[in-house]
Amino acid sequence: MTHNDFDLSKVLEQLKSDESGDLVRQMVTFLYQALIDAEATDVVQAERHERTLSRTTQRNGSRARLLTTKAGDVELKDTQTAKGFVLPFRARAAPAH
Protein backbone atom coordinates (compact mmCIF):
# COMPACT_ATOMS: atom_id res chain seq x y z
CA MET A 1 0.00 0.00 0.00
CA THR A 2 1.43 3.36 -0.99
CA HIS A 3 0.52 6.76 0.34
CA ASN A 4 1.63 8.98 -2.53
CA ASP A 5 -1.25 11.39 -2.04
CA PHE A 6 -0.55 11.92 1.67
CA ASP A 7 0.54 15.52 2.29
CA LEU A 8 2.78 15.72 5.36
CA SER A 9 2.99 19.51 5.12
CA LYS A 10 -0.67 19.75 6.21
CA VAL A 11 0.04 17.58 9.25
CA LEU A 12 3.09 19.70 10.08
CA GLU A 13 1.00 22.88 9.87
CA GLN A 14 -1.58 21.37 12.24
CA LEU A 15 1.12 20.32 14.68
CA LYS A 16 2.65 23.82 14.67
CA SER A 17 -0.71 25.50 15.25
CA ASP A 18 -1.91 23.04 17.90
CA GLU A 19 -0.67 24.66 21.11
CA SER A 20 -2.80 22.51 23.39
CA GLY A 21 -1.44 19.22 22.01
CA ASP A 22 -4.86 17.83 21.07
CA LEU A 23 -3.68 16.56 17.69
CA VAL A 24 -0.72 14.74 19.23
CA ARG A 25 -2.97 13.17 21.89
CA GLN A 26 -5.41 12.05 19.19
CA MET A 27 -2.56 10.50 17.20
CA VAL A 28 -1.17 8.75 20.31
CA THR A 29 -4.63 7.45 21.21
CA PHE A 30 -5.21 6.16 17.69
CA LEU A 31 -1.84 4.39 17.57
CA TYR A 32 -2.05 2.76 21.01
CA GLN A 33 -5.68 1.68 20.49
CA ALA A 34 -4.78 0.15 17.12
CA LEU A 35 -1.96 -1.82 18.78
CA ILE A 36 -4.26 -3.03 21.58
CA ASP A 37 -6.92 -4.08 19.05
CA ALA A 38 -4.34 -5.90 16.92
CA GLU A 39 -3.07 -7.74 19.97
CA ALA A 40 -6.62 -8.75 20.91
CA THR A 41 -7.16 -10.06 17.38
CA ASP A 42 -3.99 -12.11 17.73
CA VAL A 43 -5.09 -13.55 21.09
CA VAL A 44 -8.62 -14.35 19.91
CA GLN A 45 -7.40 -15.57 16.48
CA ALA A 46 -10.26 -13.68 14.77
CA GLU A 47 -11.20 -10.13 13.85
CA ARG A 48 -14.03 -8.40 15.68
CA HIS A 49 -17.37 -10.09 14.72
CA GLU A 50 -15.52 -12.72 12.63
CA ARG A 51 -16.42 -16.39 13.03
CA THR A 52 -13.57 -18.83 12.37
CA LEU A 53 -12.69 -22.38 13.33
CA SER A 54 -9.32 -21.21 14.66
CA ARG A 55 -10.92 -18.85 17.20
CA THR A 56 -9.51 -19.56 20.68
CA THR A 57 -11.89 -17.39 22.71
CA GLN A 58 -14.26 -14.46 22.18
CA ARG A 59 -14.26 -10.76 22.95
CA ASN A 60 -16.40 -9.93 25.94
CA GLY A 61 -16.42 -6.13 26.27
CA SER A 62 -13.72 -3.72 27.33
CA ARG A 63 -12.67 -1.47 30.18
CA ALA A 64 -11.43 2.09 30.06
CA ARG A 65 -7.86 2.74 31.10
CA LEU A 66 -5.99 6.02 31.45
CA LEU A 67 -2.48 6.10 30.03
CA THR A 68 -0.20 9.00 30.90
CA THR A 69 2.14 10.01 28.08
CA LYS A 70 4.37 13.00 27.36
CA ALA A 71 1.56 14.24 25.12
CA GLY A 72 -0.86 14.11 28.07
CA ASP A 73 -3.38 11.61 29.41
CA VAL A 74 -5.16 9.42 26.87
CA GLU A 75 -8.05 7.05 27.48
CA LEU A 76 -7.74 3.58 25.98
CA LYS A 77 -10.02 0.55 26.00
CA ASP A 78 -8.50 -2.77 27.05
CA THR A 79 -10.27 -5.71 25.45
CA GLN A 80 -11.84 -8.30 27.72
CA THR A 81 -12.15 -11.88 26.49
CA ALA A 82 -14.03 -14.83 27.91
CA LYS A 83 -10.69 -15.94 29.41
CA GLY A 84 -9.85 -12.54 30.94
CA PHE A 85 -8.36 -9.25 29.81
CA VAL A 86 -5.86 -8.99 26.99
CA LEU A 87 -2.97 -7.26 28.67
CA PRO A 88 -1.60 -4.56 26.41
CA PHE A 89 2.03 -4.81 25.40
CA ARG A 90 3.10 -2.22 27.97
CA ALA A 91 1.29 -3.79 30.93
CA ARG A 92 3.13 -7.11 30.69
CA ALA A 93 6.32 -7.63 32.62
CA ALA A 94 9.54 -7.64 30.63
CA PRO A 95 11.15 -11.08 30.31
CA ALA A 96 13.96 -11.78 32.76
CA HIS A 97 17.45 -12.03 31.28
pLDDT at site 1: 42
At 39, the pLDDT band (50, 70, 90 cuts) reads confident
For the entire predicted model, the pTM comes to 0.66
DSSP-derived 3-state class of residue 58: coil
Backbone angles phi, psi at 22, to 5 degrees: -60, -40
Pick from 39, 23, 95, 29: nearest CA to 64: 29
Please classify residue 44 by burial: count the beta carbons closer than 10 Å to its beta carbon, then call 0-12 exposed, 13-18 middle and 19+ buried.
Answer: buried
At 45, the pLDDT band (50, 70, 90 cuts) reads confident
Give dist(CA 32, CA 71) in Å, integer. Answer: 13
pLDDT at 83 over 50: yes
The mean pLDDT of 43-57, rounded to a whole number, is 80
